[in-house]
Structures are given as structure tokens and as C-alpha cells.
Amino acid sequence: MKRKGILICGMMLSALAASLSGCGKQQGKDASEIEQGNMAVGVSVHDPSIVKADGNYYIFGSHMEAAQSADLKDWKSFASGVNGNNPLFDNLFDKDMKAFAYVGEYVEGGYAVWAPDVIYNKAMGKWVMYFSTSHDWRTSNLCFAVADEITGPYSYVDTILYSGFTSKTVDKTNFREIMGEDVKISDYVQAAEYNHLNYPNCIDPTIFYDTDGKMWMVYGSWSGGIWLLEIDEATGYPIHPEADESAHIDQYFGRYLIGGLHNSCEGPYIFRDEESGYYYLLVSYGGLTREGGYQIRCYRSEKVEGPYLDASGSTFGYVAEHSGLGVKMMGNYFFPSLKTAYMAPGHCSALVDEDGKRFLVYHQRFDSGSEYHEPRVHQMFLNKNGWFVAAPFAYAGESLREEGYKKKEIEGKWYLLNHGTDIGAEIHSGEAVTFRGGSISGEDGTKGNYELEEGTCYISIVQNGIIYDGVLLDMTDEAGNAVRCLMAVGENNETIWAVMYL
């Protein structure tokens, strides 16, 4: 009897210790317990622009690449290669080759067809593709083509905007037709060269409707920044505004939004979110190569014409240093469940589906020693301050928990990283930390606090005096692990991600 009493007492003490320590074993697996793997989608589409039609999803990218999916996970290519055999176009490589008349070849024997964007034009009753052809980093033009079916074939219609011209080549463009025969080009051409520091490179167009039903084109890459032009829905051509120097509106190129002085900023995409009421401008910083620091940044505005501000309340004007400007949604990163780090995510588009889910679509490179890339689709969510955060892993059908979370569900081991605001090859890795009783602690000295709005998916993190407002999400990662994810944005434009392996 005595021994049995000791045993019972010991069991009670063990149970008490377990309850005091958080119900036994800490939530969250150690790195050695986590399955590893990277997703492969089987197609390679650079600069993917997404559109949905007839229940299917389509992405169109540079080099006349295009793919189709029924579920945003499995993709099948239906167009590839810059040549006359590609079924995407029916006349782009006709004898006159009008789309290349100004820019010529990009490399000997080859042509650049970059960054298309497809939209259904309601007034024209056509699918319209806007795209760029280019000769070099500033000598480019924007074109458009139309089709009866989303998959094409698209028929080239016209070239609508030119950049990189000089006094000797301006007559090969439509510049004088728009501006008048007597216009002086001294502002546009300085020292016999195109003024690329203040005026745009005409590539990377995307088209969208505003809340009033007006159609717009946002475009630009490095050079003089990102610009906006209204589009005549009935014809597909730009509506050139009256010049207004004080508002930085140029009659030919339209309204300046952000960037310039050849700072890295390209691949603009604007969409409006009904819930928040903001227009969001997504762009990419850095060089697009694997170690070029490519990354996704975000600005927002209450009006389509801007101003577009970041989480700190700043805009990106003509500045010498821009790394701290714009919410950095993601850059290079690694978590324990990835065999290979993800690098150079960028040139994104977005989609709001019929069920209200929002998706971020972009191309992704890998820490694999090559420049191979694939498209990725990650779900996005609004935090309490109206800023978007993206899930750390590819979309797998997940949804936010309607019942939210309880405090005990947040306690345990997490792998936390901060994307920072750097533009470079550094890979930000998830470091092990413990969430317990509102405090965050890590073996590497990481400290902070967290506060869960119990019964919701909202959580805030405080580190070094900065508040990061975030969202919690349960999903399956790309190796098949059940994970709890935390994504949060601070007023310093940094994004924190954390993952608990369940």
C-alpha cells in the first residue's frame, strides 16, 4: 500500500508539473522532426500575370510563355517561345513585324517580348493583351493585341508608347503625333541621350479598372520610375492628359507615381480591395537574378492616381536610397521544412477570387546555383491596419479559421524570421523561438512580446519597440507538414513570418 501511495503521489506531481509547463510536451516540432521538401509546378513562366476565365486560371509571362490551371496548384503550359510557331499570336511575326520596327532585335537573331498582361475589355468585347518589346534597358515600346478567346490567338493591333528615343530616332515613334510637330524634346533628350533618370522605360504594363469603371495602365521599370495612363476602353489606346508639371503629369507618358533616378523598381501591378477601400501598388525591387535581391514591395492609396504611401506614411520619390521605402512583403527566405531556400520572388500580379480569397502570383527562384524559376501562388490576407501579408507557403486550399485562436494554441516553438528591408542576396532564415505567456524568447537572444486577440486570427508582435500587426493561418506546407503560420507588418515596412510545425 505504501508503494502504491508513492506511485499515485508521483503521478499527481507529474500531472501538476505537466499542467504548469503548458500541458506536457511543448507545441511545435524540432527541426529534426520536420519533413523537408520543395514544391515543383512543372512550368516556368517569368513575370506571371494572372487572369481567370470560365472557371480556370491563366498566367501569361515574358518570352510568350503561358499556362493554365484549374486549382492554382497544377499548371499546364499552352504557349512557349518567341517565334512564329507559338500559337499565342497569329501575326506578331508577319513580314512587316511592326511590333519590332522601332526596337529591332534584342540579341542577334532574337526578339524581346516581355511582361504581358491580359484583361477582358468590356467595351470591345475582346480579350486584350498589353505587352512590351525591347532593344535594351531603355529602348522599348508598349503594344497591344486582341483575341476572341483568352488563350488566343492574339492579333497585334498597334504600338502605343515608346521610350529610349533621341533626336535622331524620335521620328520613328508616335511622340510627335501625340505631342505636336513643333514640340521640343530637350527635356526628354539630354546630351544626345534619352533622359532615362526622369522618364520611364516603356515595359511591364498592367491594365485594370477603377471603381468608376475607368481603365488604366500602370507601367515602367527602373529608369524614371512607375507611371500611370488612362486607357480609352472603346479603343484600347491611351488617353494622353494635359501636362501639369506641379502634379508631375506628362502629356506623353502620363502621371508619375513612384521611383526614378534608375533606382530598382519594376513590374508594377495595381488592384483595389473592396474591404479596405485602398488601391494597392505592388512592385519589385532589386535585380531579377537569383542573387540580385529581387523582392516584392507594396504601397497603397485611397485614389487611383495616388499618392501611394507605405506603412510608414512615406512615398518613393526621387531619392538616392530606397531600401527602406515600401512594405517588403517577401524576399529570400528559408524555413526548416524547405530543402532549398527560396530566392528572388518578384514581378507579381494579384487575383481576388469569387469566394473572396486573395492571391499573390509571382515567379520564384531557388538557392540551387541556377537561374531556373517557376510561378508561385500564395494566399494574401489583410491585417487590422489594412496591409496585406502573404502566407509563407504555396496555396493548398486553406482558409482562415472562423473561430480564431485561443492563447494556449499560440504557445510553443516557432521558427521566426524578419524579411527586413535589405536589397541583396542574404537569405533570411527562420530561427527557433518560444512563445509563452505573451513573451517571445530565442536561444540566439531574440526577445519580444505578442498579444493575441483571442477568438480571432489577429495577433500583434512587439520587437525592439516596433509593433507588427499580423494574421494567423493554419495550412499545409509544401512538404506536407501541418503548420501554423504568423504573418505581420510593422510601421518600419518590415514583414515578420513565423511558422509552428504542428
Query: Would residue 232 show up in a list of annotated catalytic residues for this protein?
Result: no
The H or E element spanning position 3 is: helix 2-20
Q: Which residues of 367-388 are buried (b: 16+ CB within 10 A; e: fewer)?
A: beeeeebbbbbbbbbebeebbb
Quick one: how far is CA 235 from the chain centroid? Answer: 29
Annotated active-site residue in 47, 65, 204, 469: 47
Distance from C-alpha of 485 to C-alpha of 172, rounded to nearest angstrom: 53
The H or E element spanning position 8 is: helix 2-20
With beta carbons less than 8 A apart as the criterion, state whether 459 and 451 touch.
yes
Annotated active-site residue in 204, 250, 266, 494: 266
Of 372, 385, 363, which Cα lies nearest the Cα of 468?
385
Contacts made by residues 74-83, CB under 8 angstroms, sequence distance 24+ = 74/41, 74/42, 75/41, 75/42, 75/43, 75/45, 75/375, 76/43, 77/43, 77/45, 78/151, 79/151, 79/152, 82/110, 82/111, 82/112, 82/113
With beta carbons less than 8 A apart as the criterion, state whether 346 and 356 touch.
no
Distance from C-alpha of 139 to C-alpha of 142, rounded to nearest angstrom: 11
Give the phi and the psi of residue 175 in degrees, each rounded to 5: -60, -50
Of 347, 318, 343, which Cα lies nearest the Cα of 332?
343
Distance from C-alpha of 267 to C-alpha of 262, rounded to nearest angstrom: 14
Query: Would residue 266 show up in a list of annotated catalytic residues for this protein?
Result: yes
**Active centre residues (catalytic):** 47, 266
